[in-house]
Protein backbone atom coordinates (compact mmCIF):
# COMPACT_ATOMS: atom_id res chain seq x y z
CA UNK A 1 0.00 0.00 0.00
CA UNK A 2 1.34 3.39 -0.90
CA UNK A 3 2.51 5.55 1.99
CA UNK A 4 1.87 9.24 2.63
CA UNK A 5 5.49 9.92 1.73
CA UNK A 6 4.97 8.29 -1.67
CA UNK A 7 1.86 10.39 -2.28
CA UNK A 8 3.83 13.52 -1.38
CA UNK A 9 6.62 12.53 -3.77
CA UNK A 10 4.13 11.95 -6.58
CA UNK A 11 2.33 15.25 -5.89
CA UNK A 12 5.65 17.10 -6.11
CA UNK A 13 6.40 15.34 -9.40
CA UNK A 14 3.03 16.36 -10.84
CA UNK A 15 3.54 20.00 -9.87
CA UNK A 16 7.06 19.97 -11.30
CA UNK A 17 5.97 18.56 -14.64
CA UNK A 18 3.10 21.03 -14.95
CA UNK A 19 5.65 23.80 -14.34
CA UNK A 20 7.84 22.36 -17.10
CA UNK A 21 4.88 22.35 -19.51
CA UNK A 22 4.06 25.92 -18.50
CA UNK A 23 7.63 27.08 -19.10
CA UNK A 24 7.67 25.43 -22.51
CA UNK A 25 4.42 27.15 -23.53
CA UNK A 26 5.62 30.50 -22.20
CA UNK A 27 8.78 30.34 -24.29
CA UNK A 28 7.48 28.64 -27.44
CA UNK A 29 3.68 28.91 -27.72
CA UNK A 30 3.69 27.71 -31.33
CA UNK A 31 5.13 24.37 -30.30
CA UNK A 32 1.47 23.72 -29.43
CA UNK A 33 -0.82 23.69 -32.47
CA UNK A 34 -3.61 21.85 -30.63
CA UNK A 35 -4.70 20.99 -27.12
CA UNK A 36 -3.50 17.43 -27.78
CA UNK A 37 0.03 18.80 -28.18
CA UNK A 38 -0.16 20.06 -24.59
CA UNK A 39 -1.47 16.68 -23.41
CA UNK A 40 1.40 14.95 -25.19
CA UNK A 41 4.07 17.24 -23.75
CA UNK A 42 2.83 16.79 -20.18
CA UNK A 43 2.69 13.03 -20.69
CA UNK A 44 6.26 13.15 -22.01
CA UNK A 45 7.35 15.31 -19.06
CA UNK A 46 5.95 12.84 -16.55
CA UNK A 47 8.10 10.07 -18.03
CA UNK A 48 11.12 12.26 -18.80
CA UNK A 49 11.37 14.31 -15.61
CA UNK A 50 9.31 12.44 -13.03
CA UNK A 51 10.76 10.29 -10.28
CA UNK A 52 10.91 6.51 -10.76
CA UNK A 53 7.79 6.25 -8.57
CA UNK A 54 5.76 8.26 -11.09
CA UNK A 55 6.70 6.26 -14.16
CA UNK A 56 7.12 2.72 -12.82
CA UNK A 57 4.67 -0.12 -13.36
CA UNK A 58 2.34 -1.03 -10.49
CA UNK A 59 0.64 -4.38 -9.87
CA UNK A 60 -3.14 -4.58 -9.65
CA UNK A 61 -4.86 -6.98 -7.24
CA UNK A 62 -4.89 -9.65 -9.95
CA UNK A 63 -1.17 -9.11 -10.64
CA UNK A 64 -1.50 -7.13 -13.87
CA UNK A 65 0.95 -4.27 -14.42
CA UNK A 66 -0.02 -0.75 -15.40
CA UNK A 67 1.34 2.79 -15.19
CA UNK A 68 -0.23 5.61 -13.16
CA UNK A 69 -0.74 8.08 -16.02
CA UNK A 70 -3.72 7.75 -18.34
CA UNK A 71 -5.62 9.99 -20.75
CA UNK A 72 -9.43 10.23 -21.02
CA UNK A 73 -9.98 8.61 -17.64
CA UNK A 74 -13.66 8.25 -16.59
CA UNK A 75 -15.38 10.23 -13.86
CA UNK A 76 -16.80 8.20 -11.00
CA UNK A 77 -20.17 9.94 -11.16
CA UNK A 78 -22.91 10.74 -13.64
CA UNK A 79 -23.92 14.33 -14.29
CA UNK A 80 -26.14 16.45 -16.46
CA UNK A 81 -24.29 18.18 -19.29
CA UNK A 82 -26.81 21.01 -19.14
CA UNK A 83 -26.57 21.73 -15.44
CA UNK A 84 -23.40 19.84 -14.48
CA UNK A 85 -24.93 18.65 -11.22
CA UNK A 86 -23.59 15.59 -9.51
CA UNK A 87 -25.86 12.56 -9.52
CA UNK A 88 -25.55 9.35 -7.56
CA UNK A 89 -24.29 6.47 -9.66
CA UNK A 90 -26.30 4.03 -7.52
CA UNK A 91 -29.56 5.84 -8.44
CA UNK A 92 -28.55 5.71 -12.11
CA UNK A 93 -29.45 9.35 -12.64
CA UNK A 94 -27.76 11.84 -14.90
CA UNK A 95 -26.92 11.31 -18.52
CA UNK A 96 -23.15 11.42 -18.72
CA UNK A 97 -20.12 9.56 -17.50
CA UNK A 98 -17.45 12.15 -18.22
CA UNK A 99 -13.72 11.87 -18.72
CA UNK A 100 -10.76 13.84 -17.44
CA UNK A 101 -8.24 14.86 -20.08
CA UNK A 102 -5.54 13.20 -18.00
CA UNK A 103 -5.37 11.40 -14.67
CA UNK A 104 -2.59 10.21 -12.41
CA UNK A 105 -3.90 7.18 -10.52
CA UNK A 106 -3.32 6.42 -6.87
CA UNK A 107 -1.01 3.39 -6.49
CA UNK A 108 -3.14 2.21 -3.56
CA UNK A 109 -6.22 2.07 -5.77
CA UNK A 110 -4.39 -0.06 -8.34
CA UNK A 111 -3.09 -2.44 -5.67
CA UNK A 112 -6.55 -2.92 -4.13
CA UNK A 113 -8.53 -3.55 -7.35
CA UNK A 114 -8.44 -5.89 -10.32
CA UNK A 115 -7.28 -4.35 -13.58
CA UNK A 116 -10.78 -4.28 -15.11
CA UNK A 117 -11.93 -2.32 -12.02
CA UNK A 118 -9.04 0.11 -12.44
CA UNK A 119 -10.08 0.69 -16.05
CA UNK A 120 -13.82 0.53 -15.18
CA UNK A 121 -15.25 1.17 -18.62
CA UNK A 122 -18.06 -1.37 -18.21
CA UNK A 123 -21.00 -0.15 -16.08
CA UNK A 124 -21.45 -3.49 -14.25
CA UNK A 125 -17.81 -3.44 -13.24
CA UNK A 126 -18.17 0.17 -12.11
CA UNK A 127 -20.66 -0.94 -9.45
CA UNK A 128 -17.90 -3.01 -7.76
CA UNK A 129 -15.39 -0.16 -7.46
CA UNK A 130 -14.82 1.80 -4.25
CA UNK A 131 -14.96 5.41 -5.40
CA UNK A 132 -14.45 7.24 -2.11
CA UNK A 133 -10.74 6.63 -1.59
CA UNK A 134 -9.10 9.39 -3.69
CA UNK A 135 -8.25 6.76 -6.27
CA UNK A 136 -7.06 9.51 -8.62
CA UNK A 137 -4.12 11.50 -7.27
CA UNK A 138 -4.56 14.21 -9.91
CA UNK A 139 -7.41 14.92 -12.33
CA UNK A 140 -6.27 17.34 -15.05
CA UNK A 141 -8.23 19.35 -17.62
CA UNK A 142 -6.63 21.36 -20.45
CA UNK A 143 -7.71 24.15 -22.74
CA UNK A 144 -5.64 25.74 -25.51
CA UNK A 145 -7.00 29.08 -26.75
CA UNK A 146 -5.97 29.83 -30.33
CA UNK A 147 -8.85 32.09 -31.38
CA UNK A 148 -11.16 34.67 -29.75
CA UNK A 149 -13.16 33.31 -26.86
CA UNK A 150 -16.71 32.49 -27.88
CA UNK A 151 -19.64 32.08 -25.51
CA UNK A 152 -19.62 28.35 -26.26
CA UNK A 153 -15.94 27.96 -25.41
CA UNK A 154 -16.38 29.87 -22.16
CA UNK A 155 -19.22 27.52 -21.21
CA UNK A 156 -17.06 24.52 -22.11
CA UNK A 157 -14.26 25.74 -19.83
CA UNK A 158 -16.75 26.42 -17.04
CA UNK A 159 -18.12 22.87 -17.34
CA UNK A 160 -14.61 21.41 -17.22
CA UNK A 161 -13.88 23.50 -14.13
CA UNK A 162 -16.96 22.23 -12.32
CA UNK A 163 -16.31 18.68 -13.48
CA UNK A 164 -13.12 18.96 -11.43
CA UNK A 165 -15.11 20.33 -8.51
CA UNK A 166 -17.17 17.13 -8.73
CA UNK A 167 -13.98 15.05 -8.74
CA UNK A 168 -13.01 16.53 -5.38
CA UNK A 169 -16.46 16.59 -3.80
CA UNK A 170 -17.15 12.96 -4.66
CA UNK A 171 -13.79 11.87 -3.28
CA UNK A 172 -12.56 10.53 -6.62
CA UNK A 173 -9.55 12.84 -6.88
CA UNK A 174 -7.08 14.07 -4.31
CA UNK A 175 -6.00 17.06 -6.45
CA UNK A 176 -7.57 18.75 -9.47
CA UNK A 177 -5.88 21.00 -12.05
CA UNK A 178 -7.38 23.32 -14.66
CA UNK A 179 -4.68 24.32 -17.18
CA UNK A 180 -5.56 27.05 -19.68
CA UNK A 181 -2.98 28.14 -22.26
CA UNK A 182 -3.77 31.14 -24.45
CA UNK A 183 -1.64 31.83 -27.54
CA UNK A 184 -4.27 34.01 -29.24
CA UNK A 185 -4.05 37.32 -27.37
CA UNK A 186 -4.87 39.37 -24.32
CA UNK A 187 -7.96 38.26 -22.40
CA UNK A 188 -7.71 40.28 -19.20
CA UNK A 189 -11.46 40.40 -18.60
CA UNK A 190 -11.75 36.64 -18.95
CA UNK A 191 -9.00 36.11 -16.40
CA UNK A 192 -11.20 38.00 -13.92
CA UNK A 193 -14.00 35.49 -14.60
CA UNK A 194 -11.62 32.60 -13.96
CA UNK A 195 -10.36 34.24 -10.78
CA UNK A 196 -13.95 34.36 -9.55
CA UNK A 197 -14.32 30.62 -10.15
CA UNK A 198 -11.08 30.12 -8.25
CA UNK A 199 -12.25 32.29 -5.37
CA UNK A 200 -15.41 30.21 -5.00
CA UNK A 201 -13.59 26.89 -5.48
CA UNK A 202 -10.10 27.39 -3.97
CA UNK A 203 -9.42 23.64 -3.96
CA UNK A 204 -9.00 23.68 -7.77
CA UNK A 205 -5.44 24.39 -8.88
CA UNK A 206 -5.96 26.88 -11.69
CA UNK A 207 -3.21 27.84 -14.13
CA UNK A 208 -3.90 30.49 -16.79
CA UNK A 209 -1.14 31.58 -19.13
CA UNK A 210 -0.96 33.92 -22.10
CA UNK A 211 1.94 33.67 -24.52
CA UNK A 212 1.39 35.39 -27.86
CA UNK A 213 2.91 37.76 -30.42
CA UNK A 214 1.64 41.27 -31.07
CA UNK A 215 3.36 43.14 -33.93
CA UNK A 216 6.40 40.93 -33.49
CA UNK A 217 6.61 41.43 -29.73
CA UNK A 218 6.37 38.35 -27.52
CA UNK A 219 3.98 39.01 -24.63
CA UNK A 220 3.44 36.68 -21.67
CA UNK A 221 1.17 36.62 -18.66
CA UNK A 222 1.02 33.95 -15.98
CA UNK A 223 -1.77 33.70 -13.41
CA UNK A 224 -1.96 30.72 -11.12
CA UNK A 225 -3.19 29.47 -7.79
CA UNK A 226 0.32 27.99 -7.66
CA UNK A 227 1.88 31.41 -8.09
CA UNK A 228 5.18 30.65 -6.39
CA UNK A 229 5.66 27.65 -8.63
CA UNK A 230 5.13 29.87 -11.66
CA UNK A 231 7.35 32.79 -10.66
CA UNK A 232 9.15 32.67 -13.99
CA UNK A 233 11.18 35.29 -15.76
CA UNK A 234 9.66 36.85 -18.85
CA UNK A 235 11.13 35.93 -22.20
Query: Per residue of the chain (235 residues), what is the pLDDT tens digit?
Result: 457 788 899 999 999 999 999 999 999 999 999 999 999 999 999 999 999 999 999 999 999 999 999 999 988 877 666 655 554 444 445 556 789 999 999 999 999 899 999 998 776 777 677 666 788 999 999 999 999 888 889 889 988 998 898 889 888 899 999 999 999 999 878 888 888 888 888 899 999 999 999 999 999 988 876 654 444 444 3
- A 10 A CB-CB count for 134 gives 17
Residue among 201, 154, 151 nearest 176 (CA): 201
Q: Is 235 exposed, middle or buried (0-12, 13-18, 19+ CB in 10 A)?
A: exposed
| Alpha helix (H) residue ranges in the chain | 4-27, 35-49, 52-55, 107-112, 115-119, 123-126, 151-169, 188-200
Q: Measured between alpha carbons, how far is residue 85 from residues 80, 88, 136, 164 in Å?
A: 6, 10, 20, 12
212 and 29 Cβ atoms separated by less than 8 Å? yes
Amino acid sequence: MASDSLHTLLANDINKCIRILSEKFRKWPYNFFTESDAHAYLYYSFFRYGSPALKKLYYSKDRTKTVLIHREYPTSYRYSQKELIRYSLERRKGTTIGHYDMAVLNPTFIENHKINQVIYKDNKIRQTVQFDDNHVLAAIEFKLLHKPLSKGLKEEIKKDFFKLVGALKTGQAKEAYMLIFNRYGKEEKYWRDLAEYQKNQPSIKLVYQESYYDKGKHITLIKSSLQQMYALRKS
